[in-house]
Amino acid sequence: MNEIKELSQELINKISAGEVIERPSSVVKELVENSIDAKSSIIDIHIRNGGKTEIRVSDNGVGINSKDVKLAFKRHATSKLSDHNLLKISTLGFRGEALSSIASISRMKIYTSISDIADGKSFEVNSGLIGELKPSPRKIGTTIEVNELFYSTPARLKFLKTENYETLLIKQCIQKLALSNPDIEFNFYSNEKKIISSLASKNLNFNKKLEHRIVSLFGSEFFKNLIWFNEKIDCYNFFGFIGLPTFHHSNSAKQFTFVNKRPIHDRYLYNSIKAAYKDFLSYDRFPQVVLFINSPLEDVDINVHPTKNEVRFKNMQNLRSLLIRSIKKGLESAGHKSSTINTLKTLDTINKNNLNFMTKKVDDPFLSNNYFNKENSTNLTEEICQDYPLGLAKSQFHETYIISQTKNGIVIIDQHAAHERIVYEKLKKNYNQNNLETQILLIPEIIEVISEELDILLNHRDFLARYSLLIEKFSNESIIVREVPLILINCNISLLMKDIISDLIEIGDSQILETNINKICSSMACHGSIRAGRQMYQDEMNKLLREMESTPYSGQCNHGRPTYIELNLNQIESLFGRK
């Protein structure tokens, strides 16, 4: 064995740089976080070649005092932590590692001043060696330039991806920090081209400021599909914008989560969000959220990893259930609201079909007898339209869709999907309150099953009884159903029982958890709801619309598909080229 030696400071810095600085976006993250901690109101970021050749971050923050400037580049040197506050960290930085790490693997230039009139200073740092301080007048603030990142660690350089990809990662990193700091103006340029320009909005409440920020970063269509929520439970405050369940995505790229304003990438938090949306989304779709969690500083540990992207909560289990509860409550407040994306998709399809339509021979509408028999809409109808968000049902088409007239347009409703959601919510509510209305079958239904299925059904008899499904063994290969929930009285009981058997097989012997309850309610709802292909009368259709309006989450069926689509008059007019 060789002799034991202490590593040189230079080597220590390089090793630590490997943990903190993985790629150009990690440099941007550390520098911008420093600018935020320095109370800047404007932060400009310039990069070249995906940050590989140059990254420059300028701010108008408090600046660095001349006497401290060299110290700032020493490892574990920080102005943000004292011996007493490791458990109460309110700044983004605290480990004093970023500047020393970046300096050890690049060539840096620093310009900084602590007032508009005091002389600024500038100096260079090459591979960790600090050059001479030179006078360099500038306004208050700091500019840090990082050139030739990883030039001294070529192995790292090799792992970098294309310019476009590295630029995208930098952009995403800035977006995250910009979302949690709507008071700060952010400008981002890549090869002199403006990529982000997001002004600060002053004198507004946080909700409005965040709205402006989201629109400036992601556009208004994204924003239109979000709903504001703000829940205070225990010592936590959960707030922000959560996406309508019909506005889902194939990955989690647009899930932004912040703990005490710090962007956090945490699998456990993502899973909790997924759990909150579980009833509305299939497992491979992701909701979109900009979600803030404020917690007492001493209840979260952010010192989990050098990149400070993860957190540990004192009581994660508790946090998880409170978070799920508050997101669900937020979603409930959206009621029947459905995503505008569906409307856009509709317009798109109609537009495409219209092109085909134009080339076909069209019947002249003026020749049609009904044309001038325009239906007189009574004042009463109009009043009703004004009062109800989903309007007044006008008629049914193909025994599947209802079209209703609203104050500003029309709504097309998928009768089965809509009714299914209503029945589902009713079943679940009644199940939870233990008061399902039941109906004894006049003629009990006998259902043939194989012996394994019989065992499973009989093992779950009490469980099914809670759903008011009363079954008994009839023979070795059949059961008899004596009672069902009133809501299901008209359904095909034998098909329903087959589905429930397969649910039970899937659930296995596991405990009766909420997921299972939802699953069974979902199967029951599917059987108990109005089928596509059934004729409905106007009263019945309107009753359905009114129920939708008062049922939580009725904008989508249990599988996350929309239950209705809305077209306002502006959109209809633009389809006809009137606008």
Least separation in angstroms between residue 37's CB and ligand ADP is 6
Only segment of 34-42, 250-258, 487-495, 510-518 that touches Mg ion (CB under 5 A): 34-42
Only segment of 78-86, 168-176, 206-214, 289-297 that touches ligand ADP (CB under 6 A): 78-86
Q: Which residue is nearest to ligand ADP (CB)?
A: 93
Our CB check for ligand ADP shows the closer of 30 and 185 to be: 30
List the single partner that 20 binds among Mg ion, ligand ADP, none, CB under 5 to 8 Å by kind: none
34 contacts Mg ion (rule: CB under 5 A)? yes
The identity of residue 205, as a single letter, is N
Least separation in angstroms between residue 314's CB and ligand ADP is 23
Give the burial class of 43: count Cβ atoms within 10 A of its Cβ; 0-12 exposed, 13-18 middle, 19 or more buried. Answer: buried
C-alpha distance across the termini of the chain, in Å: 83
242 contacts ligand ADP (rule: CB under 6 A)? no
Least separation in angstroms between residue 160's CB and ligand ADP is 22
Positive/negative CA dihedral, 126, 130, 132, 137: positive
326 contacts ligand ADP (rule: CB under 6 A)? no
338 contacts Mg ion (rule: CB under 5 A)? no
98 contacts ligand ADP (rule: CB under 6 A)? yes
Least separation in angstroms between residue 98's CB and ligand ADP is 3
Cα dihedral 195, 197, 198, 199, rounded to 10, equals 170
Per-position DSSP letters for 388-446, written without gaps between them: -TT-EEEEEETTTEEEEE-SSEEEEEEHHHHHHHHHHHHHHHHHHHT---EEEEEEEEE
Q: Among 498, 518, 488, 561, which residue's Cα sits nearest to residue 245?
A: 561
Contact 341, 246 (CB under 8 A): yes
* E strand spans, 134-288: 134-135, 141-147, 185-190, 193-198, 226-233, 236-243, 248-249, 255-259, 262-263, 286-287
Our CB check for ligand ADP shows the closer of 30 and 44 to be: 30
Least separation in angstroms between residue 273's CB and ligand ADP is 29
**Half-sphere exposure of residue 228: CA atoms within 13 angstroms, side-chain side:** 9
**Half-sphere exposure of residue 197: CA atoms within 13 angstroms, side-chain side:** 4
| Widest pairwise Cα distance in the chain | 103
Only segment of 95-103, 380-388, 467-475, 562-570 that touches ligand ADP (CB under 6 A): 95-103
From the list 41, 66, 79, 153, which residue makes contact with ligand ADP (rule: CB under 6 A)? 79
72 contacts ligand ADP (rule: CB under 6 A)? yes
Least separation in angstroms between residue 45's CB and Mg ion is 15
List the single partner that 35 binds among Mg ion, ligand ADP, none, CB under 5 to 8 Å by kind: ligand ADP
From the list 98, 269, 423, 484, which residue makes contact with Mg ion (rule: CB under 5 A)? 98
93 contacts Mg ion (rule: CB under 5 A)? yes
Sequence-distant (≥ 6) Cβ neighbours of residue 78 within 8 angstroms: 93, 94, 95, 96
Q: Count Cβ atoms below 10 Å from residue 86 Cβ, excluding itself.
A: 11
Sequence-distant (≥ 6) Cβ neighbours of residue 495 within 8 angstroms: 527
From the list 28, 47, 99, 226, which residue makes contact with ligand ADP (rule: CB under 6 A)? 99
Place of tokens 């910009």: 178
List the single partner that 94 binds among ligand ADP, Mg ion, none, CB under 5 to 8 Å by kind: ligand ADP
94 contacts ligand ADP (rule: CB under 6 A)? yes
From the list 20, 27, 55, 64, which residue makes contact with ligand ADP (rule: CB under 6 A)? 64
| Residues in contact with ligand ADP, shown as a per-residue x/- string from 9 to 38 under the rule CB under 6 A | ---------------------x---xx--x
Sequence-distant (≥ 6) Cβ neighbours of residue 150 within 8 angstroms: 52, 105, 106, 156, 157, 160
The two structure tokens encoding residue 419: 């009714």
Q: Which residues are at the interface with Mg ion (CB under 5 A)? A: 34, 93, 98
Q: Which residues are at the interface with ligand ADP (CB under 6 A)? A: 30, 34-35, 38, 59, 61-64, 72, 78-80, 93-99, 142
